[in-house]
Each structure stands twice: as C-alpha cells, then as structure tokens.
Structure 1
C-alpha cells in the first residue's frame, strides 16, 4: 500500500522539525557548557591567585579553610581517610570531637551531605586517582627561618578533588543562568546578556572564589536549576512533560534542602508567591497543587535523609506547606464568581483575609510544634531580625550583626550594579513587561466591547424585523436589553499576566528584601537580577513604536559599551589580586598540639576550634555552626574569657564541658573596632554591670592565676591547662 502525498509531506515536516529541535538543543547545550567551563576556570584561577594554593603544604591548606570552611571540610576528610567507608560514616553519625564530651549526629545537625557525597565519590575513584598521573609532589622552600615543606598537587590529592567538584558546581551556576535566561527571554542574546552581567557583577553575585565550600555556594546552582524547572513547568502545556519536570524538580528540591539550611526560607518565599498567584488567578489550583506536591515529597525525603532535623521539622516552611495543603484540599473551591463591583469588592477582601489567615495559622502551628518538640534552633534568626530594627541587643545577635556579611546591604553594592547598568536594565524590563500586559488587556477590552456592541446591534435589527406592527399579535417578543459592561471587571478579565515572568520578578523582589536585611544573601538577589535583565531582549515586550524598530541595534550598541567597559574593569581587578597564604603562629600552635599536648578537649574561639578539629583531630568544645541552641550556649560560656567575669565563673563554665585546654587569642583580647564590635564592647552590652572589672583575658595573659596554667605561648596564641578540681591529692602516710 503506497502512502499518500499528504502523509509523505507530513513525515518530511516532522523530520525537519525534529532535526531543527535537535540542532537548537545541541547548540544551546554546547554554549551553556562553554560558558560554565569559562567560569569554572575563572574562579579556580582567582582562588589560586589569592592563596598560592599549589605551593602550600597539606597543613597550610587546611589552615586556609577558615571558620565554617574548615569545619565542613573536616567531615570530608573523615569520610576520605577512614577505612572502610562505613567506619567514616559511623564516625560522623556518632561524632565525639565536635561537642565534647557528648556524641553528636552530624548528619542530623549540620548540612554536611555535600561532603559525604564528594567523599564517597573520591573513595570510588581512589584506585584510579592514586597514581602519578593524577598526583605530583615537590618540595617548597619557605624562606629563612622556616623549614621546607612537601606539596602534592593534582586531583589525586583529596583537597584538590574536593575543590574540583566545587569549581564545576560554580560552572553549573553560569550554565543554568544562561539556559534559564534564554528560555525566559526567548532569545539567546538574553541568555548571553545575563551571563555578561553575572561576570560584570561577579563580586556581588558570588564569593565562591574566596570561600569555596560555604553552603550557599553549593546550593546556588541547584536553586537556579530549580527556578528554571519551575519556569518551564509554568509554561508547559503537555501533561507528559509536566510530569517529567515535576520529578526533576522534586529531586532538585531534595538536594537544595540537604545542601543549605537557609533553603527552607527560600522555599517558603516560593510557596507564598505561588499561593498569592493562585489567589489572583494567575495560575489555577491544579498547577498550584502540583507544585505543593513536589515540595511536600521533597520535605519529607529531606527530613528522612537528615535523620529528623529539628530545625527543618519545626520550620515556618513546613507549617505553611501544611496549611496551604489543607486549603487546597478543602477550601479552594470556595471562590466567588465575580460578576459585579460588589462581587469584586467582596472577593478582594476575601483574598486578603485568606492570605492573612494562612500566614497567621502557619506561624501559630510553628510555635505549637516548637513548644511541643522543645525546639529553639531558629530562635536566633527572629532575634537577629528584631535587633536590626530595634535597640534589642544580646551576645548572640551582636555576634551576627557585627559581622559584615550579616549587615545591611551596602550602598556601594547598589552603586556597582547601577554602574554596570544591571539595575536600569532590570527596571526597564519590568516596566516593559507591565506595559505590555496593560496594553494587551486594553486592546482585548476594546475588541470585546466592539463585539458586544455589534451583537447588540444585530439583535436589535432582528427584533425590528420580527415586529409585524399588528396590535392584536399575542406572540410579541420583548426586546433584549443591551449587554451591561463593567469597565473594571472587563479590564481585569482581559488582564493576562504571564505566570512564569510574574514568578521570576516576584522572586527577585523577595531576594531583594532578603539582601537588604542580610548582605550575605545578595548573591541570590544579584544573580536573579541578571536573570530578569535578559527580558530586555524579548521583542514581545518592547514598548517602542514599530517605526523605531530599525534603531534598536544602534540603541544596543550604545548600551553595551558601558557594560563591556565595566566587565573589563571587574575582570582586571579580580585577576590582579595576588596573595599568598601563611600563618606561622597558627602553624606553630597546631604542631605543638599534635606533638606535645596531652589528651583532652580544647576550648577556644570558633575559628581556631574548627581548625584544631580539622588538623589535629582533637575534641573541641565550640564550633562555628551556630544554628543550634546548645552550640550557642557553649559559645556563650567559652567566650566569657574575653569578657569581664571572674576567673571562677569561667572555670565553672569550662569544667561543665570537661575542657582540658583553653586557647586565648591576643587579637580578640586587645582588638578594637570602630563599630564597637570588639568582644569587650559586646560583653559590655551583654553584662553592663561588669564594665568596671578588668578583662579576664588580660588577667590570664599577664598574671599567674589559679586553675589556669600556661603551657604554650607565641605572639598570637596562649594555651592554658585547666586544673580539674575533681582530682584530689592526698598525702602519703607510713606506719611506723
């Protein structure tokens, strides 16, 4: 049987369409990979320039991971070094080092899943990596007075394998940004503009080159991928593709929750945005329910994999998800059909009431869950926010707010983004989109009004023709009243807001509020601004008259010049930064601890404690992961050494945690701050009654005292052995 010419033509069209889609997919994938690879090389080069990492010893490399970085890296080191792998997993589930003398399930308490995954990957590839092809060692001279050290390089070294994964994740950030921007703007030029703006505002968008393994740097590419998948899902019409996107979104959601504890607040903002969109009928209940389903499943899976993380179980994200899920199941059908101004007024107030009730009920459930489970892990978050707008200050809020990254967003950041035209392009894009929606609604209203008038006119002519004029006609058809049109209702009915663009702009605004409150979060805001700026290339939203369209390339040639100028300046500035890491006093301290210090736990500041646990594998009392009530209490007790308390108060606190050694740092004892953020200033706020007392650390460093016996001292650190009162020395007696 021969095929008809029509069928042959259809097959030819399908093959051409498939070939075209395959070509576009290949080109976009290749371009995304290339841009990601450029960023991978760029950040790795900046990191090497900053620390001269290739020529450091293993101990110096570990010391260069300050504070939280060293804390997280220590768990990767445990997974890599312990044989077999299950022994490493046992050690991190029953960790006896991090909060001596108790055992801590670090998978439950800390977000160290990335370290476990990367460590397991290294162990899997270790047979291939343990060869001269992937590892090379050499001796490095360190100048007079310092012995040479051996330095091994290559991904066969665990630390380089760890960093290599992080650099590739940073490359994924740029690749995801390009794909998301290209899809959002329907233009490859839009995707390229977003990437150019990302590099131009690199210092505002990421700090992976300075702090590689901070949690936000690991979660950022996944959050971008998740936003991209959500945008695709909002634009997709095929049920089969929506299901596939839903599964991918679910998997990415799980990883985001596992990688960064702050993800719960980002997902909370997402759910609030989508709930408002459903209330405004920008999306339907079915789409909203699908998004809720992916969040519901990912939350439960993340809690299971984190072995019941208390902060996540009792989060506002969890209770809000429960509340709006109940709304979708039982109350979503209770909506008024708006047919008059009175209906519109009532429905408007009902929307406000529903949103308010959901938020209040979610907050109440959170308080209820927290009290029932006795969880206070995130109480410091609300204290910090409260302290930013009031005079409320405590030791814990000052520890955060005195840090630059937790301060308000700096004006200089906004100036930089203005200079690179990022903020102007975002504003123009938002105005263009809003004007397009308004203009389209106005045009549809005019057309619908004309159509209604035409129908009424035709109906009137029909009635006139049917009127016979005979007075005794009993079958007179009454004339139909003209269609009554409410202009406001007509406009709202024809206002079609594109859900994907509305979501991305709303998410950018939420990120902006977060960044203003906490400067550390500006990377989310700046990156999303780069994404939204791509809309300037979507010709669909141009507000210019068609007669000016031929001048658009000239306009872009003028605009791109300052952007490229700022790009060149920024890259030159970042590449010109050359540094070299060394910290000989800390190295001396760590070598003394490893070789001469006896058994026992060390109490000290959070940064040095993390380094001691990483490099010497000795137990510590405090650590930098502050998102736990007991961790904050331990830090409060140990940091009393920089206050004006009595020696006995400090001794009692340290003895409670069975600390054997106390480390005092001169920079914290005698350091001053223009912002009144030295530890002396912080303790004067926390304990004003003790202002007149001498500093405890000064007493320890200058006078011989009971209970604290100096055993090590250099220019930056002093170590004291803490006498244990539980030991009693009785005189020997002899019978005569």
Structure 2
C-alpha cells in the first residue's frame, strides 16, 4: 500500500510537470533552450503592450471627465469671469466652509502659521475654540494648499481656480481607477472602455464632481476605487515577484488610509467592505489569512486616523472599529468548522458563527461608547431608525435628514434610465448569477460528506465553483449588493453603487473566463467563437451608450449660463465693509458657511453636523424661525455671544411641505402644530398664540425694538444687531 501511494504521487508530479512543459511547447524546455526564450519574450512584450493600452484608455477616460466637468461648471456659472466674492458664494453650504480653510492656508504668511490657526480656531464656532483638523476631514485642503504654495502652479492659476480644477482632477482619477478595475477583473480593454461609456452616460448618478466639486466624497471615492483595485488583486492571489508583493500590500494600506482620511463617513464603507469579506470567509471563498490581513489594515487605518486627527474618538466608536476585531476573533475560533453534515447542520453552524460575531461586536461597541462617552454619531442612528419607522416623527435631527432629497428612497427614474442603457439588466445578470452559483455551491458543500476529511479541493475548476477561483469578482458583486441596499435607503448613496454597477455590467460582456465557464455547460461551446462574440457585443454596447450620452454632452457644451445672485453679493459686501472683523453672526447653517468663506467673520453654527454640541447649538439658534418671543430668542442668541442675526425670507415664508420646511421642523421639535398642517396633529402637539419670530420682528412692535435693531435689508435678507 505504501508503494502504491508513492507511485501515485510520482505520477501526479510527472503530470504536473508535463502540464507546465506543454504550456511552453511540445518539447521540453531543456531540449530546445534556444527557442524557449522567444515565446516568453513575445508574451512579456504583449502583456506590457496590453497594460500600456489599459493605462492609455484609463487616462483618456479620466481626462475627458475632467474636461467635461470643467466645461460644465464653466458654462453653468461662467466661473472664470466672476468676481472673487461671486465665486465663493457659488460654493453653497458646506462646500464654502471647506474652501474657507484652503483659502486661509493659501493666504496665511506661512503654512505653519495657517495650520496653527486651524488647530486653535475661534471663528468657526464663535465662543468655542475648536481644532479644525480634529473636527473636519480637511487634510485634502491642507495638501492642495501645500501644493499650490510650493509649486510653480501659482503662476498659472488663481487659488480658487486651482482648487476647483483639482476637485475635477480627482473625479477623473476615479474614472481611471474604475477602468483599471474593470480590466483587472475582465482582462478586456473593450470592457474598460464600456465601463467608461456607462459611467459617462449615467454621470448624474455616478458622480457629483461637476456640480459639487469639493464635497468630501468627491475626494474620497476615487481613492476608494483605487483601494478596491488593490483588494481585488490581493484576493485573487495573482503570482507576483518578491518585489511586487510589498508594493501591493503598501498600496492597499495607503489607499485605505487616504480614503478614510478624506471623508467623515468612511466608517460606513469600511464596515460594508468588512461585512463582505466576512461573508466570503464564512463561505470559504477566500483564504482566512488574506481576510485577517485586510482587517489588520483596517485596524491600522483606524488607529492612524485617531492620531492624525488629534484623538478623534468618533472613528474609534464606529461600528467598523468594533466589528473588525470581533470578526477576526470569530473567524479564528471557527476556522476548523466545515460546511458538511447536511443542510440543517451546515445552516446552524453558519448561524451560530454569525450570532457570535454580532454579540461580540455589540459588546465591543458598547464598551467603546462608554469608555469614550461618544455621542457624535447619534444623529445617524436616529435617522436610520426613523427611516425604518421606529424613530420619533418629531425629532429635529432626524427630520433634517428625512426631509432632504438626497436621503429619500431611490426613485423609479433610476431604474428606467439604467435599463434603457442595458446597464441594469447586465448588472442583474451578474448579481443573480453570482448568488445562484454561490448558493448552489454552498448547498452542495453542506451535503458533501467528503468535507469532513478535507478531501474536497478549495479551488476546484468545476464551473459550479467558479467564484472560488474568481474571489475578486465575488468580492465586488457582494460589495455592490450591499451598496445597492444602502442606496435603496438613501438616494445619495447612488454615487457608491453606480460605479460598481458599471464595472460589473462591463465584466458580464468582457470576462472571457466567465463566458467560457457558462458556455462550457451547454452544447454551444463547439460553435461559439467567444472572443469574436464578446468583441461584437462590447463594441455595440459602447457605441449605443456613447450615442445616448452625446445629446447631453452637446447641450452642456452649447448652453451658456451665468451665476446671478445680487442679493447675496450685497449682503457679503455689507458684512465685509460695515462690521468689525471679530463680529459674530447667527442664521441658517448654509448661509453662515458662505459668510465665513466670503468675509472671514465669526459664525455660531455651520453645516458640518457630526458633533453633538453643534447640533444642540443649531437647534437653539434655529428658534429664530420658530414661534418664540423676542426675549426668548434674544437670550438664546446671547448665550452664544451673537452680535448679528441674519434672517432669510425664503425660509421664513416657505410654503408648508408636509412637515419638511424648516419652520415646520422647528414647530414639531417645539411641540407646536405646524401652520397649514392637514389631518389630525401628531400626539403631544399643541396650538400656540405666539407669532413666528422671523415674521413678528419685521414689524418691530412690542419688545422687539428693545433687543434688536435693523441694520441691513434687501429682497432676500434682513440683518439685525443684538442690543
């Protein structure tokens, strides 16, 4: 028996060596040494040429997006011809706040002094000094200011033009990374081009870089797509030299870190990715050590963020910070469990492991929350519970999100548009096919008694186990599915889902390995030329999508508009010329971000909502649009050392929106029945005879003139000084 077993092993070795030699040629490499180098050299040159073509396609696609975003922005606003104050006003809401820090760093006597002023900043939240680098994700502004100050670019660009074009460049970089990711998954240059055409055809769903350039996600998501590329290459386990492996691991760590550094909501995408890797590990589709290494990258990233953001505890209190070590512990403890023993047994084993992970995560989350006394992200969980119908219908913080169009449910128009371009049907083919194959394979494993002895191979060539060989594709399919669920809850998350749809839909037509695996199950494999069929379908899809995109492109290039907001311009000029440099202003979050950006004056609140103290402050300041007396509002504003109050007619006289106008939100928070409400009031609401403050102050009757004095007014704004 021993001799027989040994002979079997020898024949197996000979078979493997035979296979290797057959790949090189009919004869052994040792017998024909002179002819063996030429095919290798040709294959290497061909591979290099393909990589160069992939890079060219990616760069060309990215450059076109940069050009399109720049021209769209220019034609919409005539940005290059605007006055400086008009350019700054055009950066609405939080965008103006972020730009103000870049502007401060660029115009500071030295970058070091500018950083000191950001670390000890009394302007952003008047009466309370904050560390801007601790509170906000503005390291991209620091990097751009550093580049602008230290390079010759300042000779060719004004600071604000360099800043806006840099955000467009990030968008182009993101599309280039998606093209590279598509090629990495499919091995097809035409698939990369199709991904680009899908992206451009659905630009309104794929990115907001053209209209909202410097939002945090427009910097973070391009780096996230690069991180996805490195994760896929790492999971697939392609053979690399000793010099390439450290490069890949370092690139994975750096891309994860910079993605997390650029966006305050990084924790949710990292959690989503960690859940995907956990699922793949539980399903035995990916080696445990690879998952543990990526989890280690997450932990290093979280700790590095905590340090570089001056002890930002919000990231330590995030779910991903609790889930990652819990998942590592669970996967290690249950690593010897198999999926065999029958469907019921296999299912129960999986459930036990998942429940254990959830319990450990909950305990870790509770421990971190108690240890660091975290409340910064409470509003996010309130929004989620309210979205699911479990939260309070009157909560101020939840309603600000629920009433925002970006956090509504995804509309049917999205599915109509993506179906018209064939994107959604192709994506669903990949999604359904992946889950069907993996589900079928899992059931087979549960029923496979050979798993008890470990005789079943982990990476079989069987078509039913395709995703064990192509775990990179399975990773992106699972991640896109989780992203889709997130997008269904909040339409703004479509910018995370759509790019992944573009990649996977392109892989459906471009992945030769996938086609051969599917056709190999049918009798058509002898009659179908896979590569020719793929090329025809890919070219047809590319042409069709570019034809759909061209009318939008033509309209964008031909329609010329101009920024026009004279009332806001007059307000900013008055503030800059008629108030003291240290004067403080109260008003709406969106407007005050512009006040700080354009004038540098102190503000009492702003649109960055990830702080419990600021949310409470905003709720009190917004009583200016509620039913409050002059005395109540005056003392609330004086609590934050406010000097001037700015009221906006567009908010004060806004028509009822089924509980979603700002005045209605404040009324609900105060327990008052909103004006114009239909149907029976919510429980706990009462009617009040107190008039709305923002309307009553215009008449300046009663006690109003004892507390406030009108200083400036136009058709849109009224500014009152607190006496």
Question: Which of 545, 566, 582 pairs up with 1:563?
Answer: 545
Q: Do the aligned residues in 1 keep the contact of 2:53 with 2:189 (CA within 8 Å)?
A: no
| 1:430-509 equivalent positions in 2, closer than 5 A | 430-431=431-432, 495-497=465-467, 498-509=470-481
Aligned to 1:719, what secondary structure does the other structure show? strand
CA contact (8 A) 1:201 1:570 kept: no
User: Paired residue for 1:615?
Assistant: 598
Matched, 1:703 2:700: yes
Q: Judging changes above 3 Å, is the alpha-carbon distance between structure 1 residues 601 and 16 closer, same or farther for their aligned structure 2 residues?
A: same
**In the aligned structure 2, how far is the partner of 1:661 from the partner of 1:431?**
58
Q: Distance in 1 between matches of 2:194 and 2:153?
A: 39
TM-score normalised by the chain length of structure 2: 0.85
Q: Please, which moves more after superposition, 366-375 or 211-220? A: 366-375
Q: 1:676 and 1:282 mapped to 2: Cα distance? A: 48
In the aligned structure 2, how far is the partner of 1:441 from the partner of 1:275? 15
The residue number in structure 1 matching 2:567 is 585
Is the alpha carbon distance of 1:253 and 1:282 closer, same or farther for their aligned partners in structure 2, counting shifts above 3 Å?
same
Q: CA–CA distance in 1 between the matches of 2:432 and 2:279?
A: 21
2:500 maps to 528
Q: Tell whether the 8 Å contact from 1:182 to 1:534 is kept in structure 2 after alignment.
A: no
| Cα distance in 2 for residues equivalent to 1:538 and 1:495 | 16
**What's the counterpart of residue 644 of structure 1?**
627
1:693 corresponds to which of 664, 670, 690? 690
Which residue does the alignment assign to 2:73? Answer: 47
SS of 1:184's equivalent in the other structure is: helix
Q: Does 1:602 align with 2:628?
A: no
The corresponding residue for 1:124 is 150
Partner deviation per Cα, 1:570-594 (whole Å, 9 max, x = no partner): 3334445532112111111111111
How far apart are the structure 2 equivalents of 1:512 and 1:441?
23
Conservation of the 8 A alpha-carbon contact between 2:334 and 2:353? no
- Match of 1:701, SS state, is coil
Name which of 580, 594, 615 aligns with 1:632. Answer: 615
Seen in structure 2, the aligned counterparts of structure 1 residues 34 and 492 have a Cα distance that, compared at 3 Å, is closer
Structure 2 CA distance, aligned partners of 1:554 and 1:491? 28
Q: What SS does structure 2 have at the residue aligned with 1:579?
A: coil
Counterpart selection for 1:539 from 495, 502, 512: 512
What is residue 76 of structure 1 aligned with on the other side? 102
Aligned mate of 1:514, from 486, 510, 532:
486
Structure 1 counterpart SS, 2:95: helix
Q: Report deviation, 1:249.
A: 0.8
For 1:662, what is the secondary structure of its paired residue?
A: strand
Indicate the residue corresponding to 2:83 in structure 1: 57
SS of equivalent residue, structure 2 residue 721: strand
Counterpart CA distance in 1 for 2:78 and 2:721 is: 36
Q: Which has the larger radius of gyration?
A: 1
Task: Give the TM-score taking structure 1 as reference length.
Answer: 0.84
CA contact 1:409–1:518 (8 Å) conserved in 2: yes
Give the aligned partner of residue 682 of structure 2: none
Deviation, 1:4, is 8.3
Deviates more, 1:164-173 or 1:45-54: 164-173
Taking a change above 3 Å as real, the CA distance of residues 14 and 718 of structure 1, as seen in their structure-2 partners, is same
State the alpha-carbon separation in 1 of the partners of residues 440 and 32 from structure 2: 41
Structure 1 contact 432–541 (Cα < 8 Å) conserved: no
Cα pair distance change 1:244/1:690, threshold 3 Å: farther
User: Match of 1:471?
Assistant: none
1:175 corresponds in structure 2 to 176
1:285 and 1:332 in contact (8 A); partners too? no
| Preserved CA contact (<8 Å) 2:57 2:193 | no
Of residues 620-629 and 705-714 in structure 1, the stretch that sits farther from structure 2 once superposed is: 705-714
Q: Counterpart in 2 of 1:425?
A: 426
Give 1:515 deviation, angstroms.
1.1
Residue pair 2:281, 2:331 contacting (<8 A) in 1 also: no
Residues 166 and 213 in structure 1, CA contact (< 8 A), matched pair in contact too: yes
Give, in whole Å, the separation in 2 of the partners of 1:36 and 1:217: 14
8 Å contact from structure 2 (residues 437, 464) kept in 1: no
Structure 1, unpaired ranges of 5+:
135-154, 453-482, 724-736
Q: Secondary structure at the match of 2:646?
A: strand
Q: Is the 8 A contact 1:236 1:242 kept in 2?
A: no
Q: Distance in 1 between matches of 2:443 and 2:364?
A: 44
Count of aligned pairs between the two proteins:
654
Which is worse superposed, 261-270 or 599-608?
Answer: 599-608
Given that 1:441 and 1:496 are in contact with CA atoms closer than 8 Å, whether structure 2 keeps it comes out as: no
Q: Distance in 2 between matches of 1:691 and 1:575?
A: 53
Moved more, 349-358 or 416-425: 349-358
> What residue in structure 1 maps to residue 311 of structure 2?
308
| Alpha-carbon displacement from aligned partner over 1:482-506 (angstroms, at most 9, x marks no partner) | x9x99xxx99997352311111011
Q: Cα deviation per residue 1:192-245 (whole Å; 9 max; x = unaligned)?
A: 111110011011111111110001111111011011111111112436344421
Question: Would you say 1:292 and 2:295 are equivalent positions?
Answer: yes
Q: Return the alpha-carbon distance in structure 2 between the equivalents of residues 32 and 553 of structure 1.
A: 19
Which runs of structure 2 are paired with 1:86-485 in the superposition (5 Å)? 86-125=112-151, 128-131=152-155, 134=156, 155=157, 157-238=158-239, 240=242, 241-328=244-331, 331-333=333-335, 335-337=336-338, 340-341=341-342, 345-390=344-389, 392-393=392-393, 394-431=395-432
Deviation at 1:519, TM superposition (A): 1.2
Per-residue deviation, residues 89-143 of structure 1 (Å, max 9, x unmatched): 0011111100111110011110111101101111111xx3454xx2xxxxxxxxx
Give the distance between the partners of 2:622 and 2:443, measured in 1 at CA.
64
Q: Distance in 2 between matches of 1:62 and 1:551?
A: 52
Moved more, 226-235 or 365-374: 365-374
Of stretches 12-21 and 591-600 in structure 1, the one that deviates more from structure 2 is: 12-21
CA contact 1:38–1:171 (8 Å) conserved in 2: yes
* Residue range with higher mean Cα deviation, 10-19 or 392-401: 10-19
Asked whether the equivalents of residues 233 and 242 of structure 1 are also in contact (C-alpha less than 8 Å), the reply is: no
Q: Which residue of 1 aligns with 2:718?
A: 718
Superposed displacement of residue 673, structure 1: 4.2
Change (3 A) 1:188 1:618: same
Q: Distance in 2 between matches of 1:528 and 1:428?
A: 14
How many angstroms does 1:693 deviate by? Answer: 2.6
Taking the aligned partners of 2:436 and 2:81, their CA distance within structure 1 comes to 57
**CA deviation after TM superposition for structure 1 residue 58, in Å:** 0.8
RMSD: 2.9
1:506-541 deviation digits (Å, cap 9, x = unpaired): 111111111111111101111110011012222332
Deviations 1:538-597 (A, max 9, x none): 233234523354766666676566534422233334445532112111111111111112
Q: Is the 8 A contact 1:602 1:662 kept in 2?
A: yes
Q: Distance in 2 between matches of 1:442 and 1:621?
A: 59
CA contact 2:419–2:425 (8 Å) conserved in 1: yes
Aligned partners of 2:439 and 2:665: how far apart in 1? Answer: 53
